[in-house]
Amino acid sequence: MTRASISTYGRANDLVTIHEVVEELGISRATFYRWRAIGKGPRCIRLPGGQLRIRRSDLEQFLRGCEDRKPR
């Protein structure tokens, strides 16, 4: 099982890296950081060393907020 698939099927509060998020969403790091700068990205946790992590539950909540709500 790969690291990405472990985090995909892990617990809701598992922490994922920026690398894992951009790979999963198919976006560039620049896009992720642009979303963060304008307050549109998922909530992040800054670790003492300065690295960012995202709770799996926060990423899923962010994605639910992106769903198209238009009636079919």
What is the reported pLDDT for 2? 43
Strand runs (DSSP E) across 1-72, as ranges? 15-17, 45-46, 52-55
Fold observed for domain 3-66: Multidrug-efflux Transporter Regulator; Chain: A; Domain 2 (1.10.1660)
Interval 1-12: pLDDT, tens? 344 444 445 566
22-40 average pLDDT score: 96
Q: Map out the domains of the chain as residue ranges.
A: 3-66
Question: Taking the model in full, what pTM does it have?
Answer: 0.74
Report the range out of 4-8, 13-17, 26-30 with the highest average pLDDT.
26-30
Using left for φ > 0, alpha for ψ between -120 and 50, and beta otherwise, residue 54 falls in beta
Q: Tell me the two tokens of residue 71.
A: 């009636």
